[in-house]
Amino acid sequence: MNKVLAGLCGGAVLFGALAWLWAATPSGEVADMRGRDTITIVLTEKGFTPRDFTVSRGTAVVFTTTRGNQFWPASNEHPSHDLYSEFDPKHPIDADASWSFVFDRSGEWGFHDHIRSYFTGRVYVE
């Protein structure tokens, strides 16, 4: 009986882990935000929304959160943020505040929440 219960518990844990990984896997969609002066990216309980997006060079991207705690959007690599060092507020942003960054360099830039680095995204600047 104990082996059956252990097997069921192990299966439930495995199923939960697989479900979490499936939900966290990006859909591969890239939101086209080109031609806008300003866009807003929101850090939710599931991550950045949209997670991957394309903007025109010179677009201001405003980062906010609905998570109720501080966040810190910054360029990769974690923890140095040296791939686009200007894309880093250098400190946590309060949950009721926002941080804006103007992308003036073309390229593909990965980013993350420095506090919870498992929240990631990618911006394509044209």
pLDDT, greater one: 15 or 104 = 104
Neighbour-count burial for 51-68, b at 16+ CB within 10 Å, e otherwise? bbbbbeeebebebbbebe
- Judged by average pLDDT, the poorest of 26-30, 85-89, 110-114, 115-119 is 26-30
Q: Give phi and psi for 74, each to the nearest 5.
A: -160, 160
Architecture of domain 28-125 in CATH? Sandwich (2.60)
What confidence category does residue 36 fall into, taking pLDDT thresholds of 50, 70 and 90?
Answer: very high
Per-residue pLDDT, averaged over 46-60, amounts to 97
Per-residue pLDDT, averaged over 27-31, amounts to 85
Per-residue pLDDT, averaged over 19-23, amounts to 38
